[in-house]
Amino acid sequence: MAKHHEVWVLTSAANRAAIDSELDRSPCSDLHVVYCDLPSWIGRRTQEQHMRWSVYYYPWQVLAYFVAKRLHLRVGFHLIHHVTLMKFWMPTFLCLLHVPLIWGPVGGGESAPPSYYRGLGVRGRLYEAARDGIRAAGARDPFVRLSARRSVLAYGATEETSARLLALGAPRVRTLPGICLPRGEIDELGSRPSAAEGPLRVISIARLLHWKGFQYGLAGFAAAGLPDAEYWIVGDGPERASLERLAARLGIARQVRFLGRLGRDETMGALGECHALVHPSLHDSGGSVCLEAMAAGRPVIYLDTGGPAALVGEDAGIRIAASGPADSVRGLAAAIRLLGTQPELRVRMGAAGRRHMATFDWDSRAEYFTQVYEEVLAQRPAEARAGITDRPRITDRPGDDRQAGRAASSRTGVADS
């Protein structure tokens, strides 16, 4: 965004090392990073675990409001864009500033269909019940509702979340996936050769959690009946032992490789050695591995729920109905069997995925939001927009009137985690 605007980012000092390292490599005069954190005794260490970090994040937002308020008096922001945490039930207290607020994309509105609960085990059902309770409580939070009502534009990462934002009172809601890939990563993954011929090798990459749906992936793989095929599973987590036992019960233990948690380079290397990604998650808000698979030219087999349903191109994978466990297993089996018996189809789908990724890079997303910012600013009264173009700058593409007319000199405040 700082290629187009003067950007101020509020974030935790936990991110300082990575940010400073990147800015040392690629200085950016229009990017100002402000680090703010609660006193350590409140629980900075809770950032190490996602659920506890969510608890820490609420009071952190209060702190961010006071920091942003002081900055606003000095800088004078034209827009605020709240980008994390990606949860619709967590407020942004920056809605209290008298500045146009864009909220999101946020997620969290996705749920495991009730018909799948029996297969999640006691721990999984308790988790889903707790998650539903937290979301319900969050939706009743007056600050969450205020965040929705005061946003000039709210983005849901999925259709499910967009519906919840409308229910909260957001005046305008759009659906937009909340993740992209850097252009360099897309190009690097795209340079990998298409999936080789030979017996099918599929891969799943995620933490081994109940809602990631690996149990359905294994059952579908077994039902596909391809004795020479292999199923690679990258990741670790509390469900690993039960998944290993399931593979043994299904009679496919010799065909399934549990690779554990790998580094990024090793993970992408494993993806490159496989023909397709199986992603049977029940309620992802995103699913960046689906983007990585498409960039690498690998088809994606996925359930028609949450983020993957919004990410995967129509011809870049096979969508499986989430109408119930038995139907999903049959659908996964049919999809795996199809790709296993038609190598030319997985090559075509892989090529379609690479084409689909042309607009899923962060530079394209920044250009998209630049147009959105222009739209929002154009709707403000003229006196409120005064000064927006008082700091002209040279555009990257001389002669492009549309580019020159952008709010490139606007000061955009971005709230982050």
Same domain, 125 and 253: no
Query: For position 257, which CATH number holds?
Result: 3.40.50.2000
Q: What is the mean pLDDT of the chain?
A: 86
Same domain, 312 and 385: no
In the block, tokens 């997620």 appear at 107
Q: Which of 330, 359, 388 is the last residue of a domain?
A: 359
Same domain, 411 and 333: no
How many independent structural domains does the chain possess? 2
Per DSSP, the three-state class of 384 is: coil
411 vs 147 pLDDT, higher one = 147
261 vs 398 pLDDT, higher one = 261
> Is the residue at 115 inside a domain?
yes
The stretch 17-37 carries a mean pLDDT of: 93
The stretch 111-118 carries a mean pLDDT of: 82
Same domain, 248 and 300: yes
> Is the residue at 304 inside a domain?
yes
Look at residue 206 and tell me whether its pLDDT is greater than 70.
yes
Same domain, 334 and 370: no
Same domain, 130 and 172: yes
Residue 297: domain span: 183-359
Same domain, 335 and 385: no
Contacting residues for 172 by C-beta, under 8 A, at least 6 apart: 151, 152, 153, 154
3-state SS of 325-373 is HHHHHHHHHHHHHHHHHCHHHHHHHHHHHHHHHHHCEHHHHHHHHHHHH
Contacting residues for 97 by C-beta, under 8 A, at least 6 apart: 65, 68, 69, 72, 77, 80
Q: Which of 359, 379, 407 is the last residue of a domain?
A: 359
Same domain, 247 and 332: yes
Q: What per-residue confidence (pLDDT) applies to 407?
A: 35
pTM of the model: 0.84
User: What's the pLDDT tens digit per position in 344-385?
Assistant: 999 999 999 999 998 899 999 999 999 999 999 988 765 444
Look at residue 43 and tell me whether its pLDDT is greater than 70.
no
Same domain, 283 and 336: yes
372 vs 403 pLDDT, higher one = 372
> Is the residue at 1 inside a domain?
no
Same domain, 154 and 286: no
How far, rounded to the nearest angstrom, does the alpha carbon of residue 273 sit from its chain's CA centroid?
25
In contact, 326 and 272? CB cutoff 8 Å: no
Q: Which of 316, 331, 359 is the last residue of a domain?
A: 359
Same domain, 349 and 372: no
Same domain, 170 and 192: no
User: What's the pLDDT tens digit per position in 170-205?
Assistant: 999 999 998 999 999 999 998 887 766 789 999 999
> Is the residue at 397 inside a domain?
yes
Read off φ and ψ for residue 263, nearest 5 degrees. -70, 165
In the block, tokens 């990410």 appear at 311
- Helix, strand, coil shares, percent, the chain, to 5: 50, 15, 35
Which helix (H) or strand (E) segment holds residue 160: the answer is: helix 159-168
> Is the residue at 245 inside a domain?
yes
> Is the residue at 388 inside a domain?
yes
